Each structure stands twice: as C-alpha cells, then as structure tokens.
C-alpha cells in the first residue's frame, strides 16, 4: 500500500508495507558480474555517521580502483567518455579519465565547512549517510537498499508511484520509496531499480560535468519515465545525485 502520510520530521510513520521491497534478487548472478561484484565490495568501506572522519585503508583505495577499472571496461562508460570528450569535458587519456572520476566520486571532503573529511560523493549517493542519528542522507542505490533490507537494517515503508498502480512490480525501474534505516525515516527517496552501477555512474558524472552550477536539474525521458536528474556539486566533487520521478512530489 501507499506510505502513510507523515508530518515532516515525524518519526511515527505508519508502516503500510508489511513485506519487503525486494522479494527475490539473484545475488549469485550479481556477484558474477564484475561491476556489481566490485561495487558490492565498496559498500562496507564507510563510516555512515557524518562528522566522524573517514579512514581510508590501502585495501579500500585498491577496491575503489578495481571498481573504476571494472566500470571503465563497460560499453556504458565508454559511451559516456566519448560523449564527454566531444564536449571537451573529460581527459582523453584513459588513466587520466579514471583519475578524474576518482576525484569526483571518491575524494573525501567535509560535508559541513571545517569538519573532518567525513564524506565523498560515492558514499553519499550509493551507501547513504546519517546525520546525528536523526536524518538519512543519500542512499539512492537499489543494491545497497536490497543488502541493507536483507540484513534487517532497512525497513521499507511503502512507495509513491506515478502510474495508476497499487503496488510496485518487477517492471518498475524507478520508484519513490519511504523507508527507515538505522532508526531514522527517509520520507521519500527516489531510486533506480535493477540498473547497473555503471549506468548510474555514467549518468550522474555526465550531468555533473556538463554544468558548473551548485545544483543541476536535468529533465530526461528514459523509456516511459519522465525524470528529473538532480546533481549537487560540492566543489570539484559530487555532493549528491538522484532521480526524481516527475508526476510525484519526491526528492
């Protein structure tokens, strides 16, 4: 059913979704695909509380590089690179382009001025962060949602849809969902469902590089979906990025 309407910041959210969002995900298949396997290995590398400095180990840096190598070998990222080259926005040399991506997504920074380096674009968008244990930031990735749900860390509360449907089904590729994670509620968050990590990486990187604005909102049509892709800039890095399903009031 639909998520119960809540006041902003109200922690008593009515949970109309007794079941999980994901009933069945073929995890073995995911782990057999290099981009997914290397992506999954990154998800446990972060301290999710903002304000607590991240400590990057050599292993984690190696994992970041393995992931970038895997996605750079895909057609999706090759197309993205070609497109950015035409616009003079990417480094032509493969190794330099990889460094550029590393800087945009993995370079650590402080979410708030003056704080310790506690965040990076990848952590925010794909892993999720919490602020003062009260607020959920980011977490716009379906694989992370699935894994957290499986570990009983996430409680799926319900969803908002643009079509005249009562429940999400296996054909949905973008959903606006409400959930709680680590004790806080995310009232509405939009997420692509079932897409590859390289698809999201390519999409958000292109939008980030096409604009110098603090916030870029790009309206696109992907198959039947009218979407607004939103990318926030944090200096030379991605602050956050997510899809908004138009026809709903989701952010």
What confidence score (pLDDT) does residue 72 get? 97
Label residue 185 by pLDDT band (50, 70, 90): confident
Instruction: Give the separation between CA 139 and CA 242, rounded to whole angstroms.
Output: 9
What confidence score (pLDDT) does residue 22 get? 87
Instruction: Give the DSSP H/E element, type plus range, for residue 185.
Output: strand 184-192
Label residue 182 by pLDDT band (50, 70, 90): confident
Instruction: Give the separation between CA 127 and CA 60, rounded to whole angstroms.
Output: 14
List active site positions: 124, 140, 186
Three-state DSSP class for residue 146: helix
- pLDDT > 70: what percent of the chain? 83
Instruction: Give the separation between CA 41 and CA 37, rounded to whole angstroms.
Output: 6
**pLDDT higher than 60, residue 12:** no
What order of strands is seen across the sheet that includes strand 174-181?
A: 154-160, 174-181, 184-192
Q: What is the DSSP string of 70-117?
A: HHHTSHHHHHHHHHHHHTT-S-SSHHHHHHHHHHHHT--B-SSTTS--
Instruction: Give the separation between CA 39 and CA 67, rounded to whole angstroms.
Output: 6
Instruction: Give the separation between CA 104 and CA 100, rounded to whole angstroms.
Output: 6
Per-chain mean pLDDT for the chain: 83
**pLDDT higher than 60, residue 194:** yes
Instruction: Give the separation between CA 50 and CA 66, rounded to whole angstroms.
Output: 26
Render pLDDT for 142-176 as a digit per residue (tens, 0 to 9). Answer: 999 999 989 888 888 887 665 555 667 777 888 88
Quickly tell me which residue has 């469902």 as its tokens: 193
Three-state DSSP class for residue 249: coil
């Amino acid at each position: 059913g639909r998520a119960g309407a809540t006041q902003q910041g109200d922690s008593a959210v009515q949970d109309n979704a007794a079941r999980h969002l994901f009933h069945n995900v073929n995890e073995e298949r995911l782990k057999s695909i290099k981009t997914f396997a290397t992506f999954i290995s990154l998800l446990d590398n972060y301290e999710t509380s903002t304000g607590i400095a991240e400590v990057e180990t050599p292993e984690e840096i190696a994992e970041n590089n393995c992931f970038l190598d895997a996605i750079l070998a895909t057609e999706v990222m090759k197309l993205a690179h070609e497109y950015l080259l035409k616009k003079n926005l990417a480094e032509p040399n493969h190794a330099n382009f990889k460094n550029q991506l590393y800087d945009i997504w993995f370079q650590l920074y402080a979410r708030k001025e003056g704080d310790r380096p506690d965040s990076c674009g990848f952590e925010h968008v794909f892993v999720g962060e919490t602020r003062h244990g009260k607020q959920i930031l980011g977490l716009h990735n379906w694989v992370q949602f699935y894994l957290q749900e499986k570990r009983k860390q996430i409680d799926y509360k319900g969803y908002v849809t643009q079509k005249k449907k009562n429940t999400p089904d296996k054909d949905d590729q973008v959903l606006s969902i409400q959930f709680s994670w680590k004790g806080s509620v995310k009232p509405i968050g939009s997420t692509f469902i079932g897409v590859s990590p390289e698809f999201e990486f390519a999409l958000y990187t292109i939008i980030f590089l096409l604009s110098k604005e603090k916030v870029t909102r790009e309206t696109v049509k992907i198959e039947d979906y009218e979407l607004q892709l939103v990318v926030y800039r944090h200096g030379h890095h991605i602050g956050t990025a997510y899809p908004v399903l138009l026809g709903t009031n989701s952010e």
